[in-house]
Amino acid sequence: MSAQINAAVPVEPGVRTPIPRRHQELTTRRMNAMRFGYAFMGVGIVVVKWPVLCRTLDRCR
């Protein structure tokens, strides 16, 4: 399908088009930022939901 799209676009000689990469690796900085974000969300969920869980368990006893 992408070959059809690229075939319709005229390409000027000497112009380099970027090759799409399917398996790009994240830099260490971005990977650590993602890890921090997921950890932050996880801690937030625990802080918000833990009291609800404790109240529910106390009612079950």
Close Cβ partners of 11 (under 8 Å, ≥ 6 residues apart): 17
* pLDDT score of 61: 62
- Cα–Cα nearest to 5, from 21, 20, 25, 23: 20
* pLDDT score of 1: 52
Do 29 and 36 contact (CB within 8 A), yes or no? Answer: no
In the chain, at which residue ranges do the beta strands (DSSP E only) sit? none
* pLDDT score of 40: 98
* pLDDT score of 60: 67
Both tokens of 39, joined, read 């950890």
Q: What is the pLDDT along the chain (61 residues), one digit of tens a residue?
A: 555 555 556 666 777 777 776 777 889 999 999 999 999 999 999 999 988 888 887 776 6
**Farthest-apart Cα atoms in the chain, separation:** 77
* Token pair 């090759």: residue: 19
